Amino acid sequence: MATKLAKKQPQKEPKPGPEKVSYSAKDIQVLEGLEPVRKRPGMYIGSTGPEGLHHLIWEVFDNSLDEAMAGYAKNIEVALLPDNQVRVTDDGRGIPTDPHPKLKKSALELAATTLHAGGKFDSGAYKVSGGLHGVGLSVVNALSTWMRAEVHRKPDVFVQEYKIGKPTGAVKKVGKTSKTGTIITFRPDASIFASTDFDLTTILNHLRQQAYLTKGIKIVIRDERSPLKYFSKRQNKEITENLSHTFYFEGGIVSYVDFLNHGQEVKNKNIFYVGKDVPTGATGQNKMFVEVALQYIEELTSRELAFANNIHTIEGGMHITGFRSSLTRILNDYARKNGFIKEKDDNLSGEDVREGLTVVVSIKLKDPQFEGQTKAKLGTPDARTAVETIMNTEFSDWLERNPNDARSVLEKVILASKARLAAKAARETVLRKGALDGMTLPGKLADCSSKDASESELFIVEGDSAGGSSKGARDRRTQAILPLRGKILNVEKARLDKMLTSEQIRNLVIAMGTAIAEEFDLSQLRYHKIIIMTDADVDGAHIRTLLLTMFYRYFPQIIEKGHLYIAQPPLYKIQKGSHHWYVYNDKEKEKLLEQLRKEAGVKETKNQKTKIKSQKKGDWEVTPVDGSSVESTGNDQPVEIEEKVSGVSIQRYKGLGEMNPEQLWETTLNPANRVLFQVGIGNAQEADKIFDILMGSEVMPRRKFIQTHAKDVQNLDI
Ligand code: 0RA
């Protein structure tokens, strides 16, 4: 329990592996009470949102996992109970309950009610020194309206309960037991958290990962919140069934790699694995446990998952750096030694040797230093040397012992290297040949007359018909129009040379004037506003995403400097008498119609069908600009019923080409009226992820994304 509480003690005799430490309550150090936790929960659990809430479970779970990693527990169960309660059970030694000699309080009570208390056992086995800030049971207690600790230490069962962090009584012996272990149950304080509903999927994902990282430990998750109750005839009694999931991975991170590569064409059938204690520090007085498992697949991308003390270091760090440099070095050595690459050939680059790689690097160490924005980057320098050293010997041995796997891997990375060199040569030729010669502006471009970039705008529009309308509508002095035909190339997959063979993209790059890649020069940008103006339908959204991908990948500076915008053309024109309004989404439309209805004295009723019948036909119209009529045919089809307000006509724009130049100018081009959305790089990482999902070569995540977001897609063009 005291795992994350303690300032680590100096050690006389450091021992990293599982170690039986004899412990007693006097080793606990007491620093402070729990008020600070309730005052600033974010400091201890990161946030009071869903992440912080789930963090409570991780904190309690980590204590049990530490006990398991020290070799004392084999089973951990996390149960979600009714009333937003959670119960974590393990079969470890049980939290000590003996009284502290000076403080005269039970060790259990101290662990549950004081911050930054720790004992010598902290220096024993590696700890998950969990979560964000290294806090523990007491933090969970402070943020719970109620908590109960039950400890089984043969032959006695001890219990203590708490309310908002304070014991409601002493630690009591409540019975006899033949087992050992700890059961912590808590109910998060709803006045602290935005919501106290736990999410099963989040819990399963986190605990599955923890199970992979801790081989041989069984983790059971039970959802007892809404049990299935039924009467069994066969057993002649009422049965209560709960959903339960069990994670147990004999193979640890090897199983993890196997799971990640499931369904892929693998290169090395045998997964490389090493797991070893490595001495570190000047005199080798400290040790780290280093584990690596890797396998290559037939893919262009790579997946590198790195963990330090079971914490996913998404920002990487020293362990991953050590791994990468060893991988590159060992594969190059092997390739040269075995004639895969010739003396005159270039070395394989780091990028080459990571193409198609799936690797899990997991290290366990004392006092890990976490840095970076989200404290998810391992800063401990020794970790680099430790991983590098162990990989150097173990991975080269593995290559020698598995010549067939070695050959498959080498063939894969050499192909990657050749493809990269070819792409580089091709792009150099393309650039040299003046494919982007800024002097010859594309014929498609209707340029503006101003030569002052700061007042010039480039509208990228979709198709020639929209191009035509926009040309008629624009202010020729400052507004240029570039029509793109059809879908532009999917740049996520394409390499630069291939991308530049697309006329659409070449036109755009030449029009912008900045060139690309090594030649990119922002000061040559010919328009300080680049405005993507696509239709308000699914195709338009797709083209917009393709363009955003291209800007994100190849012209991030244009986004960073705030030059990229998205035009917001209206979706409807609503007319009543001599007045008209443009509205940009369905919500606005509803609001306006509601207002018009009120003005017209037409009350909204639940059952509008009957209302329609009683209305004079022709009172209302819904006319798409293409002329097809969708008005009620008199057979009571529920067609756009809510728009039926006397004398109101609603025009839905399906594409920019459907607007006449005056309308287009008025709504979308005229700087005085228009709405522009500025594209920011602030959430670039998020955007990148979505681009990857939508554009990358992995089909599953894309399908999943589309399935989960399909309902959010507005204005489906059907
Ligand atoms: C310190 C010493 C001992 C056990 C634990 C901590 C312990 C803590 C937690 C928290 C959740 N489950 C836990 N299981 C064990 C062992 C004391 C001894 O018997 O020597």
96 lines ligand 1 (CB under 6 A): yes
Contacts of 506 (CB under 8 A, 6+ apart): 435, 436, 442, 500
By alpha-carbon position, which residue is closest to atom 5 of ligand 1? 95
535 is catalytic: yes
Q: What are the CA-CA distances from residue 174 to residues 45, 111, 151, 187 (Å)?
A: 32, 20, 10, 22
Distance between CA atoms of residues 648 and 655, nearest Å: 22
- Kindly report the CA angle at 422 between 421 and 423, in degrees rounded to 5? 90
> What's the pLDDT band for 230 if we cut at 50, 70, 90?
confident
Cβ(92) – ligand 1 distance below 6 Å: yes
Pocket of ligand 1 contains residue 95 by CB under 6 Å: yes
pLDDT at 620: 30
pLDDT for 81 equals 96
Of 101, 80, 98, 115, which is closest to residue 1 (Cα–Cα)?
Answer: 115
Residue 701: pLDDT above 90?
no
Q: How many angstroms does the Cα of residue 137 sit away from the middle of ligand 1?
A: 12
Q: Does 380 contact ligand 1 (Cβ within 6 A)?
A: no
Catalytic, out of 59, 150, 352, 535 = 535
Predicted confidence at residue 700, as pLDDT, reads: 52
Confidence band (pLDDT; 50, 70, 90) for 79? very high
Instruction: Out of 30-44, 332-346, 692-706, give the one with best mean pLDDT.
Output: 332-346
Q: What pLDDT does residue 690 have?
A: 58
Q: Is 136 in the pocket of ligand 1 (CB under 6 A)?
A: no
What distance in angstroms lies between residue 253's CA and the mean position of ligand 1's atoms? 26
What confidence category does residue 511 fall into, taking pLDDT thresholds of 50, 70 and 90? very high
CA of 11 to the centre of ligand 1 (A): 19
Active site residue 539: yes
The answer to whether residue 462 is catalytic is: yes
What three-state secondary structure class fits 706?
Answer: helix
Q: Calculate how far, in angstroms, residue 55's C-alpha sits from the geometric centre of ligand 1.
A: 21
* pLDDT over 80 at 225, yes or no: yes
Catalytic residue among 462, 497, 643, 666: 462
Tell me the DSSP string of 189-234: -TTTSS-----HHHHHHHHHHHHHHSTT-EEEEEEEEEEEEEEETT
d(CA 517, CA 291): 38
Could you report the per-residue pLDDT of 26-39, keeping only the tens digit for each? 444 445 689 999 99
Question: What pLDDT is attached to residue 382?
Answer: 95
Residue 437 has a pLDDT of: 59
Pocket test for ligand 1, best of 28, 63, 87, 158 (most atoms within 8 A of CB): 63
* Alpha-carbon span 699 to 11, nearest angstrom: 52
Looking from the CA of residue 153, the nearest atom of ligand 1 is 19
If you average pLDDT over residues 475-489, what whole number do you get?
85
Q: Are 122 and 3 in contact (CB under 8 A)?
A: yes
Find where tokens 């228009």 sit: 674
For ligand 1, say whether the CB of 124 is within 6 Å of any of its atoms.
no
Is 130 close to ligand 1, i.e. is its CB under 6 Å away? no
What average pLDDT does range 564-584 have in this prediction? 88
User: Cα of 93 to ligand 1 centre, how many Å?
Assistant: 5
At 247, the pLDDT band (50, 70, 90 cuts) reads: very high
Q: Residue 633 — pLDDT band, cuts 50, 70, 90?
A: very low
For range 218-228, the mean pLDDT: 91
pLDDT band at 163 (very low <50, low <70, confident <90, very high): very high
Q: Which is the closest atom of ligand 1 to the Cα of 22?
A: 20
The CA-based diameter of the chain, rounded to the nearest angstrom, is 95
Positive or negative: CA dihedral 339, 343, 344, 348: positive
- Summarize the confidence of residues 650-658 as an average pLDDT: 83
What confidence score (pLDDT) does residue 14 get? Answer: 33
The answer, yes or no, to whether any atom of ligand 1 lies below 6 A from the CB of 27, is: no
Handedness of CA 627, 632, 633, 639 (dihedral sign): positive
Q: What's the pLDDT score for residue 622? A: 27
> What CA–CA distance (Å, rounded) separates 34 from 528?
54
- CA 158 / ligand 1 centre spacing (Å): 13
Predicted local confidence at residue 652, as pLDDT: 85
Q: Inform me whether the pLDDT recorded for 369 exceeds 90.
A: yes
Average pLDDT over the chain, rounded to whole?
81
What ligand 1 atom has the least distance to the C-alpha of 1?
A: 10
Binding site membership of 1 for ligand 1 (Cβ less than 6 Å): yes
- Nearest residue (by CA) to ligand 1, atom 6, is 95
Q: Is 620 exposed, middle or buried (0-12, 13-18, 19+ CB in 10 A)?
A: buried
Q: Is the pLDDT of residue 150 over 90?
A: yes
Mode of pairing for the β-strands spanning 648-652 and 621-622:
parallel
Q: Which of 206-215, 283-292, 694-703 has the highest mean pLDDT?
A: 206-215
Structural domains of the chain sorted by starting position, each given as residue range(s) with its CATH number in brackets: 35-228 (3.30.565.10), 253-427 (3.30.230.10), 446-570+678-712 (3.40.50.670), 575-604+646-652 (no CATH)
List the beta bridge partners of residue 303: 358
Distance CA 33, CA 147 (A): 16
> By the 8 A CB rule, do 454 and 528 touch?
yes
- The continuous run of DSSP H or E covering 163 comes out as strand 156-163
pTM to 2 decimal places: 0.62
pLDDT of residue 718: 24
Distance CA 289, CA 308 (A): 10
Ligand 1 pocket check: which of 4, 23, 65, 93 to mutate, most ligand atoms within 8 Å of Cβ?
Answer: 93
The confidence score (pLDDT) of residue 545 equals 78
Residue 586 is a catalytic residue:
no
Tokens of 510: 């030449």
> How much distance in Å is there from the Cα of 243 to the middle of ligand 1?
29
pLDDT band at 695 (very low <50, low <70, confident <90, very high): low
Partners of 240 in the beta sheet? Answer: 229
> Residue 157 Cα, ligand 1 centroid: separation in angstroms?
14
What was the pLDDT predicted at 30?
A: 44
* CA of 181, closest atom in ligand 1: 14
What distance in Å separates the CA atoms of residue 118 and residue 1, rounded to the nearest whole number? 8
**Protein residue with its CA nearest to atom 16 in ligand 1:** 93
**CA dist 341 → 297, 332, 347, 577 (Å):** 21, 8, 8, 79
Residue-wise pLDDT for 120-134, tens only, equals 334 445 555 443 333
Lowest mean per-residue pLDDT among 174-188, 442-456, 526-540: 526-540
> Is pLDDT larger for residue 61 or for residue 6?
61
- Which of these is catalytic: 90, 291, 537, 643? 537
Ligand 1 atom closest to residue 90's alpha carbon, by position in its atom list: 12
Residue 23 C-alpha to ligand 1 middle, in angstroms? 9
**pLDDT for position 8:** 30
Task: Answer yes or no: are the C-beta atoms of 602 and 589 closer than 8 Å.
Answer: no
